[in-house]
A and B are shown apart, each in its own frame.
Chain A
Amino acid sequence: MYHTLSVLVENKPGVLTRITSLFARRGFNIDSLAVGETEDSTISRITISVRADNASIEQITKQLHKLINVVKINELTEDDSISRELVLFKVNAVPDRRHEIIEIASVFRANIIDVGRSTLTIEATGTSDKLGAMEDLFRAYGIKEIVRTGKIAISRGLRD
């Protein structure tokens, strides 16, 4: 089962290594990881997607808490959070099939950000499901390259 951990850490050199090496040495796999500064420049947020059972997630969370630089950990569930990922697809596109690809992109509200002689590069954001669906469709044309940012997520605003 997929879990999304939102980990607040002190914004100091080497902290990311501490997090990732902990996953490696405790035998847990990271599916995706995104990191950046928060509204407080001394704190960074690391969003980690992990595929693990509940007992493993509990153990990962407890082990992460033991790292001195880890300030806070939230597990974000699908119901109470919104997640996004940004993907760049470079798709084979001979001139007479370009319009098909552009059409698919527009259905998904993705942008064409580069046009080459035989390729189109598309920028898309969304949930993992949506991006997966796009990938499936582009595969028919041949994908030359995919670059993903990794998933980021934010908790929903409280309903007052």
Chain B
Amino acid sequence: MKSDKNGQRMTGAQAIIASLEAEGVDILFGYPGGQAIKIYDALYDSKQLKHILTRHEQGATHAADGYARATGRPGVVLVTSGPGATNTVTGIATAYMDSVPMVVITGQVPTSVIGTDAFQESDITGITLPITKHNYLVKKAEDLPRIIREAFFIATTGRPGPVLIDVPSDITKAEIVFEYPETVSIPSYKPTYKGHSKQIKQAVELIKDSYKPILYVGGGIIASGAGKELEELAEFMQIPVTATLIGKGCFPEDHHLSLGMPGMHGAKYTNYALSNADLLIAVGARFSDRVTGKLSEFAKGARVIHIDIDPAEIGKNKAVDIPIVGDAKIILGAINEELHKTAVAPRTTDWLTQIDEWRARYPLHHHAPSSAIVPRYVFERLNELLEGRKKIITTEVGQHQMWAAQYCKTNEPRTFISSGGLGTMGFGLPAAVGAQAGCPDTLVVCIAGDGSIQMNSQEMATAAINDFPVKVVLLNNGCLGMVRQWQQLFYEERYSSTLLGACPDFVKLAEAYGWHAERVAEPEDVDRALRAMIEHPGPALLDVIITDREMVFPMVAPGAAIDDMIGATNVGPISNMIDSEEE
């Protein structure tokens, strides 16, 4: 990477800014402080870098995460030492679990006092060791350009992830001659992209021979941009596709082969398809416990092809017949090419008919008449009002997140942003801010709950100050709904510490931050209020009052097999094709 600053004498702080510029960074999210002040001073001179001042360092990391998931470019965070650094931990862990590329630069106390419990000192490289792909403590100012180059390379290649760079303040003051390295050489880091040709051929044979295949795909499809190759494979061999929460949108959900999300809150027909498949083609997905339920029962009768860029994911949870390490786009492309070479016809007609019958018998939506606002209705209205618009949905974590996953029709990658692996409450609002920063012309809507949003509600200020017109649909049930649901179902309705009460007044809170806000409690007001929220030019919040009795169904009880679901709609027997489903 070329830098026009090469050869110039500058401070370490200026070298950090010049390096970020050379990497093509346009926006960074952060919060200044004593040990980062020199870097912030250098930032003041940059014409290329725009800094978004969040109201909390956790907000900065989630915003960088939302930016990265929305744009595909690495999110960049700049914070100070000590509490500034430790406040990024949850955001880093969230990005690590969902394989999001991110570079976090933390200030540190001067080299001479490291280890003395100096003011605002924390061992952030030690603390983030298990939640970063790699991290650095910079010891010499001369190393800064190389380390930053390496950090971006590591964060964005192979399986993406967060990388942290800890910079003692004396390093930011030291003078160096700036030289940004053109190339990166890390002998011990060489991700595999191209799949093994013999294994690809074996996979193709299994696919050709299968009568009941299913594609189980995840975030890896989005990370590698393999959507087109996935669609080609699915259509050519007529294979149904189920995408994980992180993979949502990598395959169009309005496609007849789409089965939506699998697992704990997947549709019953999706889980039945997984349980009855004879071939499971997993691509860029990691057999998370929320997907597999009881592991020994998961896709029990299926041969398994697992394609992943991270060899450690293959065979970690589920035994695999054909492991293929590499990039999803390249490997699916190679599989398609092999399949096209020979005249093969899909054998899945009966299988798809069977799945359609399950789909008809166990629809995801259930129609319980209610005088209160039901979440499904809010999402139906929202889907319709957003139809045809360029949009991104972010979510917080909880019931509303699962409803959003079930009901928000997502047909494009990078348009549904949610904390999956870590399940971080407080993620959705700052992630929406970051997504909006990266995609200024897109309508960004955060689906929130009244519990989650309070974990980072201060970021409403960031949206207001920066004129980010993000929207928040707050499904307000006055309680921690998902935990309450478990208490209702599995803990004899002992609602220990899950009642939040009607506090705060979210309309007043949002208005205090300069947002437009409105509350609705009657179904007939939902449509109009959603329209008003969407049409409002600035940030807007809609406080939707729902009852605390609403549950996310269907559901796989923890520890159960995924085809053993509770709360699934059964519209009655419509077929005698399957006799294993008696209830």
Contact = CB atoms under 8 A, between A and B. Distances in A.
> Does A pair with B?
yes
A68 B125 contact: no
Interface in B307-355: 310-312, 315-316
Contact of A65 (B125, B187, B311): B311
A159 B137 CA distance: 45
Nearest to A25: B130
A59 B130 contact: no
B315 A10 contact: no
Interface in B173-198: 186-189
B32 to A, nearest CB: 27
User: Which size class do A's interface residues fall under?
Assistant: 20 to 34
B129 interface: yes
Contact of A66 (B125, B129, B310, B315): B310
A14 B124 CA distance: 13
B154 interface: yes
A128 B163 CA distance: 41
B115 interface: no
B134 interface: yes
Contacts of A72: 188
Given A14-B137, A17-B126, A62 B188 contact: no
Interface string B137-169: 100000000000000001000000000000000
B312 A55 contact: no
Contacts of B312: 59, 62-63, 65-66
B188 A59 contact: no
Interface in A6-58: 10, 13-14, 17-18, 21-22, 25, 55, 58
Nearest to B139: A13
B188 A70 contact: yes
A14 B186 CA distance: 17
A69 B132 CA distance: 13
Contact of A68 (B126, B154, B316): B154
Contacts of A17: 126, 129
A10 B188 contact: yes
A23 to B, nearest CB: 11
A71 interface: yes
Given A14-B125, A62-B311, A63-B312, A69 B130 contact: no
Interface string B293-311: 0000000000000000011
B343 to A, nearest CB: 38
Given A21-B130, A25-B130, A70-B188, A55 B315 contact: yes
A2 B133 CA distance: 29
A69 B129 CA distance: 13
B220 to A, nearest CB: 15
A13 B315 CA distance: 32
A58 B315 contact: yes
A143 B311 CA distance: 46
Interface string B555-569: 000000000000000
Interface in A113-131: none
Contacts of A68: 133-134, 154, 186, 188-189
Contacts of B311: 62, 65
B129 A21 contact: yes
A70 B368 CA distance: 57
A53 to B, nearest CB: 13
B136 to A, nearest CB: 10
Nearest to B161: A66
A68 to B, nearest CB: 4
A18 B315 CA distance: 23
Interface string B409-426: 000000000000000000
A18 B137 CA distance: 14
B203 to A, nearest CB: 20
B129 A18 contact: yes
A59 B316 contact: yes
A97 B129 CA distance: 53
A72 B129 CA distance: 20
Contact of A71 (B130, B134, B154, B187): B187
Nearest to B311: A62
B287 to A, nearest CB: 13
Nearest to B129: A21
A69 to B, nearest CB: 6
A68 B134 CA distance: 7
Nearest to B158: A66
B188 A71 contact: yes
Contacts of B134: 67-68
Nearest to A64: B312
Contacts of B126: 17
Given A21-B129, A25-B130, A69 B315 contact: no
A14 B115 CA distance: 14
Interface of B: 125-126, 129-130, 133-134, 137, 154, 186-189, 310-312, 315-316
Given A59-B316, A67-B134, A72-B188, 10 more contacts: A17-B126, A17-B129, A21-B129, A22-B130, A58-B315, A68-B134, A68-B154, A68-B188, A70-B188, A71-B188
7 closest A-B pairs by beta carbon, nearest first, are A62-B312, A68-B134, A71-B188, A62-B311, A68-B189, A63-B312, A25-B130
16 contacts: A17-B126, A17-B129, A21-B130, A25-B130, A58-B315, A59-B312, A59-B315, A59-B316, A65-B312, A66-B133, A66-B312, A68-B134, A68-B154, A68-B188, A69-B188, A72-B188
